[in-house]
Amino acid sequence: MSMFGGIDTSASALTAERLRMDVISNNLANANTTRTLEGGAYHRRYVVFQPREYDEQKGFGFFMAHALRGKNRKSRDRGNGVRAVRIEEDRRQGPLVYDPGHPDANAEGYVERPNVNAVAEMVDLITASRAYEANVTAINAAKAMTNQALEIGR
């Protein structure tokens, strides 16, 4: 792995977790939205992650990549980070509440509420926040190790 591989891996996770926190915040902000531009109640959204692909040009460097081509092929597939692939919509129906006076009520007087569970979203937000903090700590550790390695030559 290159000298900055650990920082790069954690930086990709920081970007992904920031997007996840943004999506969760949007879900919480729309927890009471019964009418959207698409029509109907708001449906919660979530981020789909995927491991980043190994890129020989950007990966561990030209010489290291060629050295790993042989029997240690799996070792170059690890530790490359994560990326957000897409944001998907949870299409499950939200709870129906009887409120015949509501402007979004159907013919029977029921209003579909958003399928956002505030408690579950807060748990997800705390999890994303902790993952973000862990990656910041990993970047700081990698920076400290790099600085110590540079001090060896002095």
Domain ranges across the chain? 5-31+45-89+116-152
User: Do the Cβ atoms of 81 and 60 come closer than 8 Å?
Assistant: no
- Model confidence at 63, in pLDDT bands (50, 70, 90)? very low
Rg (CA), the chain: 23
For residue 103, what is the DSSP state? T
- Model confidence at 23, in pLDDT bands (50, 70, 90)? very high
Which residues on adjacent β-strands are paired with residue 54?
A: none
Average pLDDT of the chain?
A: 85
- Assess whether pLDDT exceeds 50 at residue 34: yes
Closest CA to 110 of 41, 30, 36, 27: 41
Report the sign of the C-alpha dihedral through residues 10, 15, 21, 23, in that order: negative
pLDDT tens per residue, range 114-136: 999 999 999 999 999 999 999 99
